[in-house]
Structure 1
Amino acid sequence: MPADPTPPGACDAHAHVIGASMSAARSYTPPEATVESYLAMLDAHRIARGVLVQISVHGTDNRVMTDAVSAHSDRLRGIAVVHADAPDAELARLASSGVVGLRLNTAFGGGPSLDDLERLAARCRELDWHLELLLDHRALPELAPRLERLPVPFVLDHLGHVPVSAGIAHPAAQAMLSLLRGAHCWVKLSGAYRVSATGPPHRDTIPIVRALVDARADRLVWGSDWPHTAHAGPTPRVGALLDLLREQVPDAAQRDAILVDNAARLYRFGEGG
């Protein structure tokens, strides 16, 4: 458990459920993770809401994720992975299940590539969705002009995947901060353990998070990244990650907004559940 209780309506904006049937083209094989286990984790940490992001090992077969979200529509939302030419009927089905965005994952694959960025954004615009991106940070400076022109909100996963050792002055970190100050960018305060150079409790992430807060605190959301797949180090404890957020964002009002208000706005909680 975290040292301080989470505020009412708190949201974990990044987690995965994993079934037994995985894509043959997957880049790794994680253990199964059920929605029941995920909800138990949320309950243990007094987190009211969650966002299930389609994991790469299931490719564009979103059924494990959408079954979980639709069964708990009062509490969960989903981010799907589809090809840019997916039929309208498929997107309508995803929307009816509680999906509110599409993911493009270039780090682990399992779906479309950056060649489809604008086409995916156009599909999102049709449905009033947003686009979520897990990128190689080295691509971010060159990609930034394309992202700035997107007609929909877009979210950079895991602190932009920028290694803390690169420093805030690194072109990728500066590109992320510049995008966040623009019209449509959001950033997930998730995956600190993926970008940290020091190990738990990952306090070396504090400077970049505070820079993000200074840039646009109203466009940040927090995620646990449960069940912490494809990570070679010690399994993170969600309570410790929430304690880290308290150090990263010491202002209680800003922290509560990140956990509650920002997430409710981005993931449309209160609309149909």
Structure 2
Amino acid sequence: MSLAAPPCAPPDFEPRRPALALPAGSCDCHAHVIGPSSVYPLSEQRIYTPPDCVAADYRKMLAAVGVERAVLVQPSIYGSDNRLLVDTLTGADPAHWRGVAVLAGDEDDQQLERLHAAGVRGARVNLVDRAERDAALPLAALRGLAERIAPLGWHLELLAHVDEAGSSLRALGDLPVPVVFGHLGYLSIGAGVEGAGFRALLELMRAGRAWVKLTGPYRLTREALPYPVVDEIAAALRETAAGQLVWGTDWPHVMLRGVMPNDADLVDLLSNWLPDPALRKRVLVDNPLRLYDFPPLRPAEASGKAS
């Protein structure tokens, strides 16, 4: 194993039932499956080495916390090799699973259509987890990618520190697709909600041009659970544009520096972030239907009777 790609801790493989009961049809909009490594080799350019966290492990967690729909996001450890993502999606119920892929840039129309048929609804650009990175947004490259995926109705997902981008973030409002930001905007530790980048993010959300994932609070702070500094960030996002928010577990919590949480503890954070039950339903159920092009809930699911 390369010293540049150190091992990271596994998730808690024994998830508990959270104290908070989630609404029927809730969706985990940000998770990864990994391995088995004997079948899906990791990229040589990766910066961390995770253990196998396979689809069966992920399904066990979803069942424990009461989540019925899921969006798998291509992790950086596989680069643009989307085979595991596609294989997992095509082996799942298409009414309940969607994906976000990473594109190499040379895909033809048929390749993109195959990804779409598998359930992919977005393209991810990771501007953080790379050996060399620049704080400036690669606006020309992002525009080219957005124009490529727009005919499919996809969105562009960015993993970026919005505080580093600053006011230049506003330029993303002119892209022909919505832009989705992971990890509550992924503010650098110590950055606050008054910064230019976060204010620009709120403007984009207010205009309906950006979405934000309520994920990975442990990536924004060195505090332990319940990560209290993140409450202010979540409140600002909620009060600005609750219709542009989705939520996710960030399972299996790769590269987490600190104590590994049980996923039930992460679900229970929603009591603070989304205190109203109607608001939780909007963010966990209704908003993902729009963003990820899920089919409408079946009557049994909508009534909470789904198995």
TM-score range, shorter chain: over 0.9
Per mean C-alpha deviation after superposition, the further-off stretch among 153-162 and 82-91 is: 82-91
User: What corresponds to 2:187 in structure 1?
Assistant: 162
> Partner letter of residue 58 of structure 2?
Y
User: What corresponds to 2:154 in structure 1?
Assistant: 129
User: What corresponds to 1:242 in structure 2?
Assistant: 267
CA separation of 1:164 and 1:2: change in aligned 2, threshold 3 A = farther
Work out which of the residue numbers 67, 71, 90 in structure 2 matches 1:70.
90
Query: How far off its partner does 1:40 sit?
Result: 1.0
Q: TM-score, normalised by structure 1?
A: 0.94
Work out which of the residue numbers 79, 97, 101 in structure 1 matches 2:100.
79
Query: How far off its partner does 1:271 sit?
Result: 7.1
In the TM superposition, 1:1-273 aligns within 5 A as 1-19=17-35, 20=37, 21-72=41-92, 73-109=94-130, 114=138, 115-163=140-188, 165-270=190-295
Paired residues of 1:163 and 1:197 also in contact (CA < 8 A): no
Query: How far off its partner does 1:208 sit?
Result: 1.2
Query: How far off its partner does 1:163 sit?
Result: 3.5
> Partner letter of residue 157 of structure 2?
E
Paired residues of 2:163 and 2:198 also in contact (CA < 8 A): no
Query: How far off its partner does 1:5 sit?
Result: 1.1
Paired residues of 2:234 and 2:273 also in contact (CA < 8 A): yes
> Partner letter of residue 13 of structure 1?
C
More helix per residue = 1
The C-alpha deviation readout for 1:165-207, integer Å capped at 9, x for no partner, is 3221122221221221123100000011110242211122111
Paired residues of 1:102 and 1:132 also in contact (CA < 8 A): yes
Query: How far off its partner does 1:235 sit?
Result: 1.2
> Partner letter of residue 171 of structure 1?
A
Query: Whole-Å Cα distance in 2 between the matches of residues 138 and 84 of structure 1?
Result: 27
Per mean C-alpha deviation after superposition, the further-off stretch among 263-272 and 97-106 is: 263-272
Paired residues of 1:28 and 1:230 also in contact (CA < 8 A): yes
Greater Rg over alpha carbons, structure: 2
The C-alpha deviation readout for 1:42-71, integer Å capped at 9, x for no partner, is 011110001000000000000101111111
- State how many pairs are aligned: 272
Paired residues of 2:169 and 2:197 also in contact (CA < 8 A): no
Structure 2: stretches of 5+ with no match in the other structure: 1-16, 132-136, 299-307
Per mean C-alpha deviation after superposition, the further-off stretch among 48-57 and 263-272 is: 263-272
CA separation of 1:211 and 1:139: change in aligned 2, threshold 3 A = same
> Partner letter of residue 71 of structure 1?
G
The C-alpha deviation readout for 1:7-36, integer Å capped at 9, x for no partner, is 100000000011211111111111111111
SS of the aligned residue for 2:242 comes to helix
Per mean C-alpha deviation after superposition, the further-off stretch among 84-93 and 59-68 is: 84-93
SS of the aligned residue for 1:166 comes to coil
Per mean C-alpha deviation after superposition, the further-off stretch among 139-148 and 225-234 is: 139-148
Query: Whole-Å Cα distance in 1 between the matches of residues 86 and 222 of structure 2?
Result: 35
Structure 1: stretches of 5+ with no match in the other structure: none
Query: Whole-Å Cα distance in 2 between the matches of residues 238 and 272 of structure 1?
Result: 24
